[in-house]
Amino acid sequence: MSMWLEYFEQALPYEQFLERYGLEDARARWDRQLQRIALNEAQQRLLHALQRDVLLLCLASAWCGDCAAQVPILARFAEESERVRLRLVERDSLPQLRDMLLINGGRRIPVVVFLSEDGHEVARYGDRTLSRYRYLARAELGEAIAGAPQSEQELLDAMIQEWLNELERVHWLLRLSPRLRRMHCD
């Protein structure tokens, strides 16, 4: 078994992660965000059309605002498609994994490692999407930032699409992989 599959097997499904690590206020924040996430028809069709399993190993913490804003998006994708399997690891519960997934030298979260069905690392994505950075930069720097969402709803819609774009990119990488095409005879 690959190292990544071992980590994936140790990780928790979304609800179990929140039950174990989510204090009441953090849990409420994640629940509110999950309820706000509505996929449009095109996004639903894309998720239903996936032909390869994509494993999402997500390093997160229930207290983290960026995690509360983004990880429920991944949970919604997993609810919508049986091909998307999401598991979460609490950032500080596996220090060796945490330290392998540093971003800019820091313990930034969420970080998602996209895995093939047989445990090969395909991609990494996190800590914030481009639209989230634009939104924060506009607010914190007081500058006009091209493409920055103007409202919380625009931000959410943009984050959903950006995470879905990365998931789709990974899916096509897997779907066109000669190794996996031989395995699946397609």
Where are the chain's structural domains? 3-184
Strand partners, 56: 86, 114
H-helix segments, 14-119: 14-21, 24-36, 41-49, 65-80, 95-100
Predicted pLDDT of residue 38: 96
Predicted pLDDT of residue 99: 95
Distance CA 80, CA 52 (A): 14
What is the chain's pLDDT, residue by residue, as a tens digit (186 residues)?
A: 799 999 999 999 999 999 999 889 999 999 999 999 999 999 999 999 999 999 999 999 999 999 999 999 999 999 999 999 999 999 999 999 999 999 999 999 999 999 999 999 999 998 999 999 999 999 999 888 889 999 999 999 999 999 999 999 999 999 999 999 999 999
Predicted pLDDT of residue 45: 98
> For residues 51-74, b (16+ Cβ closer than 10 Å) or e, as one string?
ebbbbbbbbbbbebebbbbbbbbb
**Which residue, 183, 66, 83, is CA-closest to 132?**
66
Distance CA 97, CA 89 (A): 9
The pTM of the whole model exceeds 0.75: yes
Q: Where does the chain show beta strands of DSSP type E?
A: 54-60, 84-90, 111-115, 121-126
Q: Which CATH architecture has domain 3-184?
A: 3-Layer(aba) Sandwich (3.40)
